[in-house]
Amino acid sequence: MPEVDFDIVTLGHGSGGKLTNDLLDKGIFTLFQNDMLQQRHDGAFFELNGKLAFTTDSFVVNPIFFPGGNIGELAVNGTVNDLAMCGADPKYISLGLIIEEGMRMDDLWEVLAGVKISAERAGVDVITFTLAMTLIARAVTASNGEDGDGGGGDDSDGGGRDGNAPEGRSDE
């Protein structure tokens, strides 16, 4: 895990200022080193010849950590699979991160490590990315007690490390 001066993600990490640059310099650019990403653009410049295949995918799962992996691995593998199913030989991916304010930094690094490992296994480079922060309101559910839980409670899973399979789906 990179050494950073913060334990959790804040909205400031998506502001484009010092916190953003610290996150990028100590994390993203260090972890995913390649010539195209090191250009530090909001896009990627590269040349390809011949027929191209292109896809975009996104994933929302809860919890983000589950038996066999995490959302970072799922995102890379799902996107690479989409290209492979087109008959393509995947080479590059773009990474879109929408991070909830309050996420523990070590959890973010674990997700990014999953992205890196999956990208390396698939033989693809992360050549551009986008970073956004969000406030996500947690729903509180109420119960009439008939289901035996004795009342309402927070539906969050405390970080998703309870071994449950993820809920959610890709954008397909």
Q: Which two tokens stand for residue 12?
A: 């400031």
pLDDT tens string 59-105: 888 999 999 999 999 999 999 999 999 999 999 999 888 899 999 99
Asked whether the beta carbons of 58 and 96 are under 8 A apart, the reply is yes
pLDDT 10s digits, 113-170: 999 999 999 999 999 888 888 886 555 555 444 444 444 344 444 444 444 455 554 4
pTM value is 0.76
Spatial distance between the Cα atoms of 104 and 108, rounded to a whole number of angstroms: 7
CATH 3.30.1330.10 for domain 11-158, yes or no, is yes
CB 78 within 8 A of CB 119: no
CB count within 10 Å of CB 64 equals 25
Residue 140 has a pLDDT of 54
* Helix spans in 32-126 (H): 71-85, 105-122
Beta strand 65-66 pairing with 59-62: unpaired
Cβ-based neighbour number of residue 37 at 10 Å: 20
Burial class (CB in 10 A: 0-12, 13-18, 19+), 80: buried
Longest Cα–Cα distance in the chain: 63
Q: How high is the pLDDT of residue 6? A: 83
- Domain ranges, ordered by start, for the chain: 11-158
Pair 92, 44: CB distance under 8 Å: yes
Per-residue confidence (pLDDT) for residue 101, from 0 to 100: 92
